[in-house]
Structure 1
């Protein structure tokens, strides 16, 4: 060093400090995998594709001093100069626009986080040996220098190529972490998710951990060809794809900043090197076949690698004074089913590669294109003067935001939802395990269709043009070809006039997919495979006058046939459904099994209770669900006036509320972040912000806005018995009836779960049925 120079070489301790950055173990491995993927990508760009590219990882399974982590690929390998650059902190030969590597720090952070010693060996096809180096953090600190000798090791096959990174002298906390099998499974799951787009692409590579190949986590969504009609008359598909070509920008490879073409790099450094950045935003948003409290959201991807998994930020409206979650808001348990992939290659990400930078203009641009400029909620958007959007997430929200049908005649097929979500989750597990029977969505849709026919619950939906068939058709659908079949007399007359008995025709049966499944007791090691069929009363396997039977079909697999006659009077009761029947039979079978094996543990009532708790979810009087149901029903009623086609003076209607009610509405509008309460009033949205009791009173004051097909199909103004007095009395009876329903809804919405737990059971059932009767009529 001369008197006019300073030596700014960082102290070797810097590498150790990098190792203190809190990076999860799977993220450390991902940093090293990214380097391998970049090597494959670069080879492909140089027209030297690697045949069967693979990354093989070896992780320790025991907490031993000699434990190590190895990541090896069969990429093209590196020259000596490339090897030296690859391990130097802060250096990156990658183009950060096209590669996964970003800052030249990933290798150093990842390896220093895991252990104190790292060995890197690389070789190219034709090289006679492996060339390597060793980074010993303690030794570098002791000598206070970065120099490390060149290493070599034998190479039996000259054609071998690739790079191997081995981390030794693992830190104590890392050895402990890797020694637990649950943590290794967690690593596999995380890597299966973040590399899914690459593992499933045409340029796929193979990823192995401890000899186990990682299978990409595939999205379990409805068939993209399935669709429903949107409010604009156009189809909304279960998967809405998009591909936007965006205006080019310029990018500085040195400063890693993007800017418009009219100006140079903002830093103005002589070292700046700019290139034109061609931008494209593409992907899809869609509907998962099941709902979940956490397992939903949109993967946001950079160059094929998921940076933000199951992101839910796009479900939040941030245009008001405070952020407001818009989805899921219609499910009592806050379960969601919107999923998707957004490929955002041109937006900056954090140095840990787990988050896109929100201050990058490309982020806000993406949000606008995917979800639209305004709120997803149409009434809120209307109140804020936003026009309906054609953005893919906005359209998906309008069609499928609900997790259950609206109103008494709503159809599950209209929103592509499986009512029995626990069953849907079980089927999704089979999907992810690769079961061929569950790769398509037919089995899910069979459940949807059965629910629309009202078979299991015993309450068929109203049929009409385009609706599902009734619960029990004239004759049953043949399981093979779907055509109607009828019972026939097995007697036949021959050509000579002699009567003889022909072979009996197989009984007409219709499979019920909702009840056909594997049933497992939640605690006991007892399970049954059940195939359920609707049959006629004269089915030869159904005992005379019996409503159902359960018979063994295959003793080897413990498969049972459950046959039931849906026309039997027992199923026309309030409390007995086919699900109740099959659970009673299985509880008795389980009781018999346990009675022989362990007589003291066989308690029939307990077994039945456990099975009902597991499989009769809909029969539960869950306080939280009931309160949410009442609140949602009142909100639907309130929303309906703003959607009315009548030319109403909403300001006049608002003025007819009591002064106290008006004040409450204005305060609630203000707290929601909307800057103008007048806009809400002018669009008729004000009633959505009213208290439950005020909604009830408003319906009583303005029945003309809700009856005669406007919200309820119930005639009111159209009632005409030829006498004014009789008409008035009839209309008053209608109001009294609906007023009682609304009173129950108001009462339920004002209760806490603890309050309802203390309520009389019959009172709770009555109130819940009242809310159900308030559902909107005529929803197709």
Structure 2
């Protein structure tokens, strides 16, 4: 609701007009009236050319013009569904002759009257109010067009008008004439019901002409506009994860060189997906909707004036005020994949994104010291990244003139930021240490419930039974954005997470079965020697051993036993596929130099496999239509079960051989297999990744031990040797120089500064405090035998010691050392209790 407060302004203007009229008429002024002289402050037309030097990227110039069209769409409440709102952007083609290039932005909005047309083109004038609109037509229009070229033609018409209104703004000609006056032309239109506005810029600037002609630039601009206008472009049912139509989209159309601009949709988990955290189910989508107290917005300077009885703006004393609602609405959620850059919160003003993937919400500034601490992502942040995303609408918060940031020093921005991420640290232990309550903000809830990146449904991370599939999840996200139907929902990701859990729990353990295909042992008999045919005859009463009824004088006819038909190749592969489990991390599109690109699907099947000659084999493949390749691995084959070989290695060899056969090349299997292997990046394990994983696991152990140390600090500290105490103090001095170390040893705050070797000492000294599900899930008190208890303790201590040696040794590691460390971390991860680390 908008209320105008301009009565006093009107009276002041009336008094000024009377004074000016007296002065012009030569009437004497009273003693308290001053003489008025006027100054002509009309700027030089050179101003418009100078505006072109303001640094704007091509997509920003176009966005300024698109903003004005979308503003009209947003305010047009009477528009019918038969004519969807759309904007057409035309860029120069690569083959356009020099001097003939132009940029055009045309819309099918309502068009403008003559009065609106004149005012909207005036330098610095805005037809729109300061708030409630995407663009300020006057200045934004001038900056955008001046950045693109020196001549701008604007055409507009309304439904029912007989003519087009046309104005041409030639910056150089206006400068020569020293006047802002431009001629107005009228052109008759064939269709009286046509309506809209068209802006065409010619004589493009040299620094814009060459880039705009490149073919790739149009694609890049489409992608950028698809990000900026994602909310306005997507339809109201584009996001099943967000059922509320208010947050779903508006369905506007936008085209660049005839190709639709597709909105970049957020690839998030559905709000129905949850994880458990401290006894509660936390949804993967957290909604935000907070109504703030309405305030008076100054339409001249943009200042928000709070209070019930505001007469004039406290900043500029203007009385041109409007009472407007202030609301923070949107959502934050969990992306289906991790990324080192593609995560963060989008902040929108009137549907347009001002900040994209902003990560400042994950930083906490200590109000006492001014120090800034990055809190997210913690686990695998450097190698895999984060996955918290969101869209927050802040229509009331002022933005910079380039619309690339909000005014962060404004109270409105600070209020919004606190609503989204809270005032205190996200990390519970950090919050407690700083005197804050646990962070219960939307971002705080997601941070604590989803901060870990373990494979499985407990963290909503796709996996393959041995580890997470981060690279595969990112590949699926690219297919989601290409619009492939099977990737639009989160089912693909969830199936992989559920599959990981099933494998870990033994639900998908391959079971050996007797081959049913053709071969020397294929007789279709059961363990008792009977066949399926015998069973059929027995159940129908036609078995050959059945006795004739008493009194029967004739022998029962003997029916021929049907012989089994040979299994076709198609049936054999269908049988392999029926109970198979797709190996997600190896199922992809593989591209090998000189051998082309092939779609690969790899399955682990419980069915024993045979090759084309009927001999048993651990792995087999066949080619489908379109040269797609299916590979089957029998996971229970003795080469895997008894010799410890990895089924994935055999599958990659089979893929390589299939590619060689299709391409009829003499490239060696080893070379092709190596190139195939390098495309499955989830199979990598590097020293940097293992170190980051070590830090993450140690962080979880520190959290668990900190809970114990709060009430047993003295006993734990006393158990440490001099070397571990000294190492902890040195670490604390560098990490938290303001920490009072004596107090830390008394309240348990020393725990975050211990080395893994220090944890091992505490496990040996206090197994009753740290084992049995408190910090480590390993049992201790349930064992009566002292030797059994000792082995339980030593197993955990040795794992911690191994991690400590790896972390401390910064020298290069061999392949076997890295492999051993990966296994150590796998075992240690399974030993950490879930109770105190979430």
- State whether residues 490 and 502 of structure 1, in contact with CA within 8 Å, keep that contact through their aligned partners in structure 2: no
The answer as to whether partners of 1:446 and 1:513 remain within 8 angstroms in 2 is: no
1:311-710 map, 5 Å: 311-319=358-366, 321=369, 322-331=371-380, 332-405=382-455, 411-418=456-463, 419-454=468-503, 461-462=504-505, 469-472=507-510, 490-491=532-533, 492-493=536-537, 494-497=540-543, 498=559, 499-501=561-563, 507=575, 509-512=579-582, 514=584, 517-538=587-608, 546-554=616-624, 556-572=625-641, 576-594=645-663, 596-597=664-665, 599=666, 602-615=667-680, 617-618=682-683, 620-644=684-708, 648-650=711-713, 653-654=716-717, 657=720, 658=722, 660-661=726-727, 663-671=729-737, 684-710=748-774
1:453 alignment partner, SS class:
helix
Q: Which residue of 2 aligns with 1:112?
A: 146
Q: CA 1:50–1:86 in structure 2 vs 1: closer, same or farther (change >3 Å)?
A: farther
Residue 479 of structure 1: aligned partner: none
Structure 1 segment 78-477 matched on structure 2, within 5 A? 78-102=112-136, 104-202=138-236, 203-231=250-278, 233-262=279-308, 263-267=310-314, 269=316, 271-319=318-366, 321=369, 322-331=371-380, 332-405=382-455, 411-418=456-463, 419-454=468-503, 461-462=504-505, 469-472=507-510
Change (3 A) 1:531 1:605: closer
SS of equivalent residue, structure 2 residue 76: helix
In 1, the alpha carbon distance for the partners of 2:132 and 2:366 equals: 33
Counterpart for residue 777 of structure 2: 713
Structure 1, 221-230 or 259-268: larger mean CA deviation = 259-268
Q: Distance in 2 between matches of 1:191 and 1:122?
A: 24
Distance 1:142 1:693, change over 3 A: farther
Distance across 1 between alignment mates of 2:769 and 2:612: 52
Cα 1:374–1:501 shift into 2, 3 Å = farther
Report the alpha carbon displacement of residue 766 of structure 1 after superposing the two structures with TM.
Answer: 2.5
Q: 1:103: Cα distance to partner? A: 7.5
C-alpha deviations, 1:443-493, integer Å up to 9, x for none? 112211222233xxxxxx246xxxxx35347999xxxxxxxxx99864232
SS at match of 2:169: strand
Pair 1:33-2:97 in alignment: no
Cα distance in 2, alignment partners of residues 490 and 548 from structure 1: 28
SS in 1 for 2:397: coil
Contact 1:240/1:285 (CA < 8 Å) preserved in 2? yes
CA contact (8 A) 2:91 2:213 kept: no
Relative to structure 1, is the Cα distance of residues 474 and 397 closer, same or farther in structure 2, using a 3 angstrom cutoff? farther
1:180 and 1:361 map into 2 onto residues whose CA distance is 43
Aligned twin of 2:15:
none
Q: Distance in 2 between matches of 1:509 and 1:50?
A: 50
Contact 2:68 / 2:137 at 8 angstroms: preserved in 1?
Answer: no
Tell me by how many angstroms 1:253 deviates: 1.3
How many residues of Structure 1 are paired with residues of Structure 2 in the alignment?
734
The structure-2 alpha-carbon separation of the partners of 1:234 and 1:617, relative to structure 1 and needing over 3 Å to count, comes to: closer
Please give the alpha-carbon distance, in whole angstroms, between the structure 1 residues aligned to 2:166 and 2:233.
Answer: 29
CA contact (8 A) 2:701 2:775 kept: yes
SS of structure 2 residue aligned to 1:121: strand
Q: Does the CA-based 8 Å contact 1:628-1:749 persist in structure 2?
A: no
Quote how far apart the aligned CAs of 1:616 are.
5.7
Cα distance change, pair 552–375 in 1 and its aligned pair in 2 (3 A): same
Change (3 A) 1:698 1:17: farther
Contact residue 375 and residue 381 of structure 1 kept, 8 A: yes
CA drift at 1:353? 0.7
Query: Compared with structure 1, are the counterparts of its residues 447 and 524 closer, same or farther at alpha carbon in structure 2 (3 Å cutoff)?
Result: farther
Alpha-carbon contact 1:670-1:677 (below 8 Å) kept: no
Partner of 1:724: none
> Structure 1: how far apart are the matches of 2:298 and 2:740?
43
| Equivalence for 2:519 | none
Task: Return the offset for 1:149.
Answer: 1.1
Name the SS of the counterpart of 1:557 in structure 2. helix
2: CA distance, partners of 1:186 / 1:682: 58
Normalization by structure 2: what TM-score? 0.81
2:71 paired with 1:7? no
Distance in 2 of aligned mates of 1:324 and 1:270? 40
Give the whole-Å Cα distance in 1 for the aligned partners of 2:495 and 2:80: 49
Is the deviation greater in 707-716 or in 353-362? 707-716
Q: Deviations over 1:184-215 (max 9, x none)?
A: 11100010111110112554221111111111
Q: Could you tell me how far 1:264 is from its partner in structure 2?
A: 4.9
- Secondary structure (helix, strand or coil) at the match of 1:415 reads coil
Aligned to 1:458: none
Q: Is the 8 A contact 1:120 1:165 kept in 2?
A: yes
CA contact (8 A) 2:89 2:257 kept: yes
Higher relative contact order (CA 8 A, sep 6+): 1
User: Could you tell me whether the CA contact under 8 Å between 2:305 and 2:314 is conserved in 1?
Assistant: no
2:799 corresponds in structure 1 to 741
- Pair 585,269 (structure 1): closer, same or farther in 2 beyond 3 Å: closer
Tell me how far apart the structure 2 counterparts of residues 114 and 205 of structure 1 sit (CA, whole Å).
25
SS in 1 for 2:324: strand
8 Å CA contact 1:626, 1:748 repeated in 2: no
1:392-441 deviation line (CA, Å, top 9, x unaligned)? 11111111112225xxxxx4544344522222222222211111121111
RMSD across aligned positions (CA): 3.0
Offset at residue 57 of structure 1 (A): 0.8
2:419/2:441 contact within 8 Å kept: yes
Following superposition, the deviation at residue 302 of structure 1 comes to 0.8
**Counterpart of 1:481?**
none
Alignment of 1:725-764 (within 5 A): 727=786, 730-752=788-810, 755-756=811-812, 759-764=813-818
Q: CA deviation at 1:523?
A: 3.1
- Write the deviation string for residues 300-331 of structure 1: whole angstroms up to 9, x where unpaired: 11111111111111111123632111111201
Contact 1:587–1:611 at 8 Å: present in 2 too?
A: yes
The gaps in structure 2 that reach 5 residues or longer are 1-19, 25-35, 237-249, 515-523, 544-558
The superposition leaves residues 115-142 of structure 1 with CA deviations (integer Å, 9 ceiling, x where unpaired) of 1111111111122221111111111111
Measured at CA, do residues 640 and 574 of structure 1 come closer, stay the same or move farther in structure 2, by a change above 3 Å?
Answer: farther
- 8 A contact 2:581–2:604 mirrored in 1: yes
CA distance in 2, matches of 1:356, 1:92: 20
In the aligned structure 2, how far is the partner of 1:148 from the partner of 1:631? Answer: 67
Residues 714-739 of structure 1 deviation map (CA, whole Å, 9 limit, x = unaligned): 33354322xxxxx2x55444444433
